[in-house]
Amino acid sequence: MIKLLIYEDNPQLREGLTMLLNGSDGFEVLASFKNCSNVLQELRIYKPDVILMDIDMPGSDGIEGLKQIRLVDNEVKILMLTVFDDNKNVFEAISNGANGYVLKKTPPAKLIEYIQEANSGGAPMTSSIATQVLKMFSSLHSEKGENYNLSEREKQVLHLLVNGYSYKMISAEMFIAIDTVRSHIKKIYEKLHVNSKSEAVAKAFKDRIV
């Protein structure tokens, strides 16, 4: 019997998880909470095997809770739940001793598998997370990311975009018509597989093409 604690601010999801797990053989949800303000106390009282910890909670967030727990307990397995597979949180979580990191959209059957895996000493990750982790690793050694075959001019435009330039400013800076700026940006979007300026900027940072 795997004993669980759940920390999740969204009431629906909290209830859903609790019901799912209590209804599954070999699982017992001891309690669930909407934030981790009293996580240490609760840990002492319930002595769970595995903790499901939402990352994006108001007040004391999941990373904070994780840190607190790891100050006093290195045994309990902590599985982080999140809607995002972004770099920062993954890194923070695993640097601070999380045992796994899974997306909330993970189907129930998978989630159950992951919990079992965490409980038996594994490190379950949804594949997009694992990919992130591998990317981070690769980036430690290989200096440059994808190139996306951006042309020189396109790289210049993207560079200016990343530095907060509007189309008008780019047009002025590069001595080309604003419509030409549009053309370039459209091409850039195609190549990066995005469709907004901020997505392009984000991608530029993530893939280090800046």
Partner DNA sequence: CTAAAATACGCATAAATATGCGATAGGGCG
Partner DNA sequence: CGCCCTATCGCATATTTATGCGTATTTTAG
Nearest of 110, 107, 94, 19 to residue 53 by alpha carbon: 94
162 binds, options a second copy, DNA, none, Cβ within 5 to 8 A by partner type: a second copy
User: Which listed range, 25-33, 66-74, 108-116, 196-204, lies at the site for DNA (CB under 7 A)?
Assistant: 196-204
User: What residue type is 4 in one-letter code?
Assistant: L
Select 46 or 91, whichever has its Cβ closest to a second copy. Answer: 91
Which H/E stretch holds residue 80? strand 77-82
Do the beta carbons of residue 29 and residue 77 sit within 8 Å?
Answer: no
Which H/E stretch holds residue 46? helix 39-46
- Report the nearest approach of DNA to the CB of residue 45 (Å): 20
- Report the nearest approach of a second copy to the CB of residue 2 (Å): 15
Which residue of 12, 41, 120, 196 would you call a contact of DNA, by CB under 7 A? Answer: 196
Rounded Cα distance, 166 and 178, in Å: 10
Select 38 or 142, whichever has its Cβ closest to a second copy. Answer: 142
Q: In what order do the strands lie in the sheet with 50-54?
A: 27-33, 2-7, 50-54, 77-82, 100-103
Do the beta carbons of residue 206 and residue 200 sit within 8 Å?
Answer: no
152 binds DNA (CB under 7 A): yes
189 binds DNA (CB under 7 A): yes
Tokens 């979007």 locate to 189
153 binds DNA (CB under 7 A): yes
162 binds DNA (CB under 7 A): no
Which H/E stretch holds residue 181? helix 178-192
User: Which listed range, 33-41, 43-51, 72-80, 171-179, lies at the site for DNA (CB under 7 A)?
Assistant: 171-179
User: Which listed range, 14-22, 84-92, 112-120, 160-168, lies at the site for DNA (CB under 7 A)?
Assistant: 160-168
Q: Which residues bind DNA (CB under 7 A)?
A: 149, 151-154, 166-168, 174, 176-177, 179-180, 182-187, 189, 195-198
